[in-house]
Amino acid sequence: MTALVYSEDELGKIDGKVANGLVRHSEKYDIVGVIDSSKKGLDAGEYLDGIKNNIQVFGNIDEAVESLSEIPEYFIYGIAPLESFLNERQRGAIIRAMKMGMNIVNGLPEFFSEDKEFVQTANKYGVSISDIRKPPARKDLHIFTGHINDIKTPVITVFGTDCAVGKRTTAVKLVEALKQEGRNAVFISTGQTGLLQGSKYGIAIDVLSSGFSTGEVENAILQAVEKEDPDIIVVEGQGALSHPAFTSSSAIIRGAMPDAFILQHPPKRINHCDYPQIPMPSIESEIKLIESFSKSRVIAITLNHEDMTDEEVDNTVLEYQNKYMLPTSDVLKHGCDKLVKELFKVFPALAQQKRQHADS
């Protein structure tokens, strides 16, 4: 399914995290372009990570359609701001995409399928609207059962010291690395971008009532175990456990009952994004909070290299490894080898499973 991603003036920025994620990884959609007039003409992959992936950035929808061989099937709204309401320019882009015959995919908690103008336009031009974060009907939601305690498969989560620090990216990269090592690793998404990327298991839990968030996390893991028989499960974190604006982290811990954590941190970030009056927590305080809340250990640290040079990243990796005595990596620059090695150390049975698969 071909898709054009809207990320006007936000590609590569914090609020462009949905677009950033889809440019880096997408199993569900074939991303054929990004809309961002401030980066017009660039290769999106090269702009984000220095590696070309032939996803061109266009100045507007008309330019994209004119350049592409065919009109994309889907138009994905790829911006995720704190305040989710659309401005007139953004609304105009969505209307324009519908008039061109593109189905709309929305990751905001502002549901397009409840917007009168959008619904009328979609009906007129015969296109669909999908609200990824719209909760299932109450009858289809799950409450916590406690069956997560019966799971023998190792469950790890990637948490962070703030929102928008790359938890999902690290989790997805780690799952890919484990698969390359011959392990059946399964990713559990807890946010809209992971679902858009094609995750088979999970739900956007931040729009659920507190009574169902824990149960939905647990249910996603139980479903993955039943259907995939995985060697290991990697759960995406949300927000930060210490962040006063988010409750999702506590629901993930309660629902997943993780056996270990990886902690993602942006060393150059001084205050929480979107909350400049709230200072960032220290790695020490976040580790202490996670471990006391969950009774499980943080086994590795991963970096978000925003505003850092390569030299600063390398120096910080060494500094953190010496200071915290934990393997540290920037997975976008250095890969996941350290993380995989540590997982094999923490979970010895996981280290043997490739050999068992080869013998079978």
The Cα–Cα gap between 153 and 92 comes to 47
- Reported as a pLDDT band with limits 50, 70 and 90, residue 279 is very high
Please say if the pLDDT value at position 355 is more than 90. no
The Cα–Cα gap between 185 and 175 comes to 6
pLDDT of res. 82? 67
Q: What is the DSSP string of 25-91?
A: --SS-EEEEEE-GGGTTSBHHHHHHS---S-EEESSHHHHHHHSSS--SEEEE----SS----HHHH
The alpha carbons of the chain give a radius of gyration, in whole angstroms, of 20
Interval 25-43 mean pLDDT = 92
Q: Kindly report, residue by residue over 199-255, the tens digit of the pLDDT.
A: 999 999 988 887 899 999 999 999 999 999 999 999 999 999 999 988 899 999 999
Please say if the pLDDT value at position 81 is more than 90. no
pLDDT of res. 69? 86
Sort strands 271-272 and 275-279 into parallel, antiparallel or unpaired. Answer: antiparallel
Spatial neighbors of 319 by CB under 8 A, at least 6 apart, are none
pLDDT of res. 356? 52
pLDDT of res. 107? 87
Interval 181-201 mean pLDDT = 92
- Reported as a pLDDT band with limits 50, 70 and 90, residue 277 is very high
For the entire predicted model, the pTM comes to 0.87
- Could you tell me the end-to-end alpha-carbon distance of the chain, in angstroms, rounded to an integer? 36
- Reported as a pLDDT band with limits 50, 70 and 90, residue 71 is very high
pLDDT of res. 320? 98
DSSP classification of residue 282: P
pLDDT of res. 284? 97
- Reported as a pLDDT band with limits 50, 70 and 90, residue 359 is very low
Strand, coil or helix: what is 238? coil
- For the chain, the average pLDDT equals 92
CB atoms within 10 A of CB 311: 8
Interval 76-89 mean pLDDT = 83
Contacts by residues 274-280 (CB-CB < 8 Å, ≥ 24 positions apart): 274/14, 274/82, 274/163, 274/245, 275/245, 278/243, 278/244, 280/161, 280/162
Produce one character per residue of 279-288: b if its CB has 16 or more CB atoms within 10 Å, e if not. Answer: ebbebeebbe
* Contact present, 322 and 350 (Cβ < 8 Å): no
Spatial neighbors of 91 by CB under 8 A, at least 6 apart, are 117
Q: Kindly report, residue by residue over 304-319, the tens digit of the pLDDT.
A: 999 999 999 999 999 9
Please say if the pLDDT value at position 85 is more than 90. no
| Domains of the chain as residue ranges with CATH | 2-131 (3.40.50.720), 140-359 (3.40.50.300)
Interval 80-107 mean pLDDT = 88
Return the sign of the alpha-carbon dihedral for residues 262, 273, 332, 60.
positive
Name the residue with higher pLDDT: 196 or 236. Answer: 236
